[in-house]
Structure 1
Amino acid sequence: MMVPFPPWEPDRADYSPGASPVITNALPARDGWRPLPDLTTFTDALPSACKGAVKVRNKAGEFRIIAGTETGLYELNTSDYSWTDLSGTSAPYNVPSGDVWSFELFGSYLIATNLGDPVQYFDIDVGSTFADLPGSPPRARYATTAGEFLVLAHLADQPNRIHLSALGDASGWTIGVDGSDAQTFPDGEEIMGVIGAEAGAVIIQRTKIRRLNIAQAGDYSFTTQVVNPDRGAISPRSIAQIGPGQFFYYSSDGFCLGAEGRMIGAERVDRWFQSTFDSTRIGEIKSVADPFNKIVWTQAEDPTGTKFLVGYNWQLDRWCHADNNVSEMVVLTTPGVTWDGLANLYTTIDEVNLPFDDALFTGGAPRFAAFDTDNKLGFFTGSARAATLETADIEMSPGSLSFLREARVYTDATDFTLKAGTADYHGQALTWSSAVTPYSSTRTCHFRSTGRTHRFRMEVAAGVEWNHVTGLEATANRAGKR
C-alpha cells in the first residue's frame, strides 16, 4: 500500500493519514518534501551579536548590506567580507535589551532607529557614516514609509503613539508644519509593529490592528481606522511582511495572517508551539519571510534554551520544522563573489562545496540569511541538513494485525535508513525496529515486524544529496486478530 509522508501538523491525531507528527529539516513541496540547505557563513564576525540588518540598492545599482549591533552600525565590505564601522557621533549606541534596529529607506536616506538612541540616517549614495537625523525626531522603536511621509511608531515615552514627518522631508518634525502630525491611540495597548501599505500603513498593536490612510484633502495629513478590534500581535518581532499590506504574526491565540487575522496554525501547529516554546521568552520570538522559498520562518526557544524554527509556506499553506540555532535571521541580497574573492572564502579550489552558479557566487538575489552564534553572516545555500520524516500511524490490514515484510521509499536519495514502529493497539507506545538500509539493487528495505499499527521513520544524514521524497510502498500480510 502507498503510505505518504504527509504535511507536518503535530496538533492532529497520530492516526490521521493526512498529517505527520514529525518532519524535521525538510521543506514543503507540492508533492512531498525537499531538503533544507544548511547555513554557509562567508564573512568576518561582527564585533557583537547582530541586532538587525538590511539590504539597500543605491542609484549606481550597487547593493549594500548594513548590520547593527548593540553599540554600532556596520557595512559589509564585499571585497574581503570584513565589516566597516559606519557609526556616527552618537555612538557607541545603546540598543535596549530586547530591542533591535529598525531600518527604513526613505529616498536616498537609510533611517535606523531604536528606543535607546537618537534616530540615525545614512545617505546610501554619498554617505560615509551615520548621523543624527535633523529636526529632533522622537526616539522610536519602529520606522516605515506611508506615502511621502516617514512614520515613527512606538515612541520611547509613548508606546501607543505614532509621529509623521513633514511631507517628503525626513528632517521635518514640527507638528502642523508641512503635514507633520502625530496621534496617540486610546486603546489597543502598545504598538508592536508597523508596515507600509498601499496609500498608508498598517499599525499592529497588542490587541488591535489599525490602518493609517494618507488623507487626500482636508486639515489632516492622515486618518486611522480600526480594521481588527479583537486581535493583535503579542510578540513584536513575530511580525513579518510577505507582500503589500499582507503580513504574518503571532497573536494571543496562535499564528495569524493579515489584518483579518486568518488563523493559519489552528489545529495544525498552534498547540504544539505553545507547549514547546518557553513562554517566559515570548518577546524574543522572531519571524522573517524568505521570499525565495515563500516561507515565513519563526524562531523560538524551548525551556532548555534550545532554539528551533517553524516555517509557514504561504503559497502551499504548509508548515515545516527545523532544528537550526542562529542568532539573527534576515533577508539580504547575495553580494556575489569574484574569482579573487574566492580566496577569502576557501583556501583551495578543492574546498569549494557549492556549484559556481549558486546564489552566493552570482549575487543580486534576495535570500534568507542569518548570523550564526559566532556572529558571522551566511546564506542557507549549503548542503542538506540531516532530515527526519515520519508517516502517520496506519493500519495496513484494517481490523487485523499486519506482518510487515518490506517497504520501498519514493525518493531520489540513495543514502538513507528506514525504521518501522509498531503497536498492538491504538495508544500503545511504539516499538521501533533497527534502522534498515535499502538493498542496493532494488532499493527495498526488508522488515519482520507485526503490529496493528505501523509508523515509518526515514532518516537522511547531513550532506546527502537528494531532491524529493513523497512516501513509500509497504508490503504486509494479514496476521490475524488479537
Structure 2
Amino acid sequence: MTTVLFAAWEPDKAELNGQTTGDVSNVLCSTFSYIPFPDFSALTSALSAKPLGYFQARSLSGQVSTFAGTATKLWKLDNTTLTWEDVSKSATTYAANDDAQWCFEQFGEYVVAVNINDNPQVFHLGVSTDFDNLAGSPPKAAFVKAWGDFLCLMQLATDASAVHWSALNDITGWTIGTDNSDTQSFPEGGAVQGSSRATNPLIFMERAIYLGTFVPGSSIIFSFVKIHDKRGAKSPYSIASRGENTFFADEGSFFQIAADGSIADIGFEKVSRTIFGQLASSDIGSMVGAIDPFYSRAYWTMDIGGTGSFNTILTYDWLLQRWSKASQVNYGIFPAATAGYTLEGLDAVSSSLDALPYSLDSKVWQGGAPVLAAFNSTYQMGFFNGQPKEAVITTQEQGDITGGVTLISSVYPVVDNDNCTIAIGTRFKRGQTVSYTGEITATSATGRFDKLSAARFQRVRVTIPAGEDWSQAQGVDITAQPAGRR
C-alpha cells in the first residue's frame, strides 16, 4: 500500500510524478491537507439593482452598519429587518455604472462614498438618515482611502493621475494649501488605481507603484517615491489590504507587497499562467479582491469564461503560501462583521428556528464576528458560513515513464467522511485525454474502494458531496502492483 498525500494546487506545473495537482475545487488549504469551503447562505433581502460597491463600517460604540451602492441609489442595511433602506441624498439620482463604481471609506464616525460621476457623499454614523454632499467642495473621484489623519480622494475626474487629500483630521477641508490639504499628480504610471490604508500609503497606478511618506511639519505634507516601475494594479478593485499586507492583481499575476514596498509574485509558476489564460482583458480589470477578516487568506473573485458575473473565487493563504479555488456565482466579496442577535431578534429573520439560513452556533449571529460576505446572483447579501460545498480533490498523476503498467486494486481516501466517492483517471499516453471511471463507493465491510484499474498513468479523484460533515482531507491510500508492459 502507498499513501499519496494531496498535493498543493499549482495548475501551472506539470503533474506527472510531481508534488502538485491541477484539479481541486471548493476547498481551502490547511497544513498538509484541505478543509471545506463553506457554502454561501443569503441573509438579507435583495437590492433593487446590481451592487456596484459595498462596505461595512463600525462606529466607536461598536454598532455595525452595512452600505451598498447601485447605479442610482445608496443603501443601508436595516440590522433588524435585514432589508435595504434607501439612504441616498434627498432628490438625488446618482450616475454610477460598471465603469464608475462606488468606493467607500470610513473616517472616524463618517462614511464617505465616491464614484467618478457624482459629488463625494458622506454619512454620519448614528446621526445621519441619508447621505449628503461632502462639505468643502472636494473634487469628484473614483476612489477614496484614509491615509492616517487625512482622507484622500484618488483618480480625480479632472486628472486621473492625481490624488487630493483633506485637511488634517478634517474631511470638510479641501482648500489646497490650507491646514495641510494638498494634491499630487504623478507624472508616470497612468491612472491612479487605489492605495493601501496607512499613514504612509502605497499608491497603485496602472503601471507604477509609489510609496507616500507623511512628513509632519513640512510644507510638502507627503513625499512620494516611485518604488516599482512597469508594475501596477490592472484591476483597481483587486487591491486588498490588512495590516502590513497588501495584495493586488496586475497583468499576468498576483502580488503581495509589504509596507516597505518589498514585493513578491505569489502566483508565478503556481496559478497565474492558468488563471490569466482563462480571463479576457476586461475581466482581469474587473476582478475584486478581499482579505479574510479573521484568517490569513486573500481572495479574488473573477469571471472565468466571460459569463457576465463572477463565478470563481481564488484563495491564497499567505502563511501556508498555498492556493485553492471555489465555484460561486457572485457580484462581489468583502470582509464583514455581523450586528449580533438575541433569540427574540431572530424572529425578524425567520419565525422558525429550523428555517434560519445558519445554525444557531454560527458566527453570523454573534455581534461583531468577522465573516467573509458577498452578494449573490439575485443581489442578496450573505456570508460564506453555510454547509461545506461539494469538494473535489485530485491527486497528482503517477506512472512509469519507461512504459510500465500499474494495476490499482483498491483505494482508501484519508478523509474524515464515509460518504465520499472516488474516480480513477487513466491514460496510456501522455498526449491522451484523461479518462475517468464512474464514481465508486466504498465496500461496507472494509471501507475501501475496490476497483481494478490498469494503465501507465493514473490519478485518483475524491469527491465529498455538498452538505457532508467533514474537516480534513489528507490524501489516499492506494493498493497497487506492477502489471507488466503493453
Give the TM bin, normalised by the shorter chain.
Answer: over 0.9
Alignment partners' CA distance in 2, 1:276 and 1:397: 30
How far the C-alpha of 1:310 sits from its partner, in A, is: 1.3
Kindly tell me: are residues 138 and 16 of structure 1, through their superposed partners in 2, closer, same or farther at Cα, counting changes over 3 Å? farther
Unaligned ranges ≥5, structure 2:
none
Partner of 1:287: 289
1:270-294 per-position Cα deviation (integer Å, ceiling 9, x unaligned): 1111221223333211111112232
Is residue 431 of structure 1 aligned with residue 435 of structure 2?
yes
Partner of 2:241: 241
Q: What one-letter code is carried by the residue in structure 1 that aligns with 2:381?
A: L
How far the C-alpha of 1:341 sits from its partner, in A, is: 3.2
How far the C-alpha of 1:476 sits from its partner, in A, is: 0.8
Q: Is the 8 A contact 2:301 2:332 kept in 1?
A: no
Aligned partner (choices 357, 360, 363) of residue 356 of structure 1: 360
Partner of 1:476: 480
Q: Is the 8 A contact 1:152 1:162 kept in 2?
A: yes
Is residue 220 of structure 1 aligned with residue 220 of structure 2?
yes
Q: Is the 8 A contact 2:256 2:266 kept in 1?
A: yes
Aligned partner (choices 275, 278, 285) of residue 276 of structure 1: 278
Alignment partners' CA distance in 1, 2:293 and 2:354: 31
Aligned partner (choices 332, 336, 343) of residue 332 of structure 1: 336
Alignment partners' CA distance in 1, 2:104 and 2:121: 10
Alignment partners' CA distance in 1, 2:205 and 2:456: 50
Q: What one-letter code is carried by the residue in structure 2 that aligns with 1:129?
A: D
Q: Which runs of 4+ in 1 moved over 4 A?
A: 396-399
Deviates more, 1:425-434 or 1:166-175: 425-434
Alignment partners' CA distance in 2, 1:50 and 1:122: 18
1:191-217 per-position Cα deviation (integer Å, ceiling 9, x unaligned): 1111222x3211100111001111123
Kindly tell me: are residues 466 and 45 of structure 1, through their superposed partners in 2, closer, same or farther at Cα, counting changes over 3 Å? same
How far the C-alpha of 1:21 sits from its partner, in A, is: 1.0
Alignment partners' CA distance in 1, 2:103 and 2:436: 49
Partner of 1:150: 151
Alignment partners' CA distance in 2, 1:230 and 1:430: 40
Deviates more, 1:113-122 or 1:438-447: 438-447
SS at 1:472 equivalent? strand
Aligned partner (choices 316, 321, 327) of residue 323 of structure 1: 327
Is residue 383 of structure 1 aligned with residue 387 of structure 2?
yes
Alignment partners' CA distance in 2, 1:211 and 1:326: 33
Q: Is the 8 A contact 2:189 2:230 kept in 1?
A: no
Flag the structure with higher strand content: 2
Alignment partners' CA distance in 1, 2:165 and 2:188: 20
Q: Following superposition of structure 1 onto structure 2, how do residues 406-445 of structure 1 map, counting pairs within 5 Å? A: 406-445=410-449
How far the C-alpha of 1:442 sits from its partner, in A, is: 2.1
Q: Is the 8 A contact 2:63 2:339 kept in 1?
A: no
Q: Is the 8 A contact 2:139 2:157 kept in 1?
A: yes
How far the C-alpha of 1:58 sits from its partner, in A, is: 1.7
Q: Is the 8 A contact 1:228 1:260 kept in 2?
A: no
How far the C-alpha of 1:304 sits from its partner, in A, is: 4.3
Q: Is the 8 A contact 2:46 2:379 kept in 1?
A: yes
Partner of 2:124: 123
Kindly tell me: are residues 90 and 187 of structure 1, through their superposed partners in 2, closer, same or farther at Cα, counting changes over 3 Å? farther
Query: So what's the TM-score if we normalise by structure 1?
Result: 0.95
Alignment partners' CA distance in 1, 2:352 and 2:109: 40
Deviates more, 1:353-362 or 1:462-471: 353-362
Q: What one-letter code is carried by the residue in structure 2 that aligns with 1:343?
A: D
Q: Following superposition of structure 1 onto structure 2, how do residues 118-267 of structure 1 map, counting pairs within 5 Å? A: 118-197=119-198, 199-244=199-244, 246-258=245-257, 259-267=261-269
How far the C-alpha of 1:16 sits from its partner, in A, is: 4.3
Kindly tell me: are residues 165 and 349 of structure 1, through their superposed partners in 2, closer, same or farther at Cα, counting changes over 3 Å? closer
Identical-residue share of aligned pairs (%): 30
Q: What one-letter code is carried by the residue in structure 1 that aligns with 2:431?
A: G
SS at 1:342 equivalent? helix
1:375-398 per-position Cα deviation (integer Å, ceiling 9, x unaligned): 111001111111111111112898
1:351-373 per-position Cα deviation (integer Å, ceiling 9, x unaligned): 34643221111231121000111
Deviates more, 1:80-89 or 1:466-475: 80-89
Q: What one-letter code is carried by the residue in structure 1 that aligns with 2:56?
A: K
How far the C-alpha of 1:39 sits from its partner, in A, is: 0.7
Is residue 83 of structure 1 aligned with residue 84 of structure 2?
yes
Partner of 1:404: 408
Deviates more, 1:228-237 or 1:369-378: 228-237
Query: So what's the TM-score if we normalise by structure 2?
Result: 0.95
Q: Is the 8 A contact 1:98 1:284 kept in 2?
A: no
1:87-142 per-position Cα deviation (integer Å, ceiling 9, x unaligned): 11362111133232211112222111110111111111322211101110000111
Alignment partners' CA distance in 2, 1:353 and 1:207: 44
Alignment partners' CA distance in 1, 2:356 and 2:401: 50
RMSD of the alignment, in Å?
A: 1.8
SS at 2:398 equivalent? coil
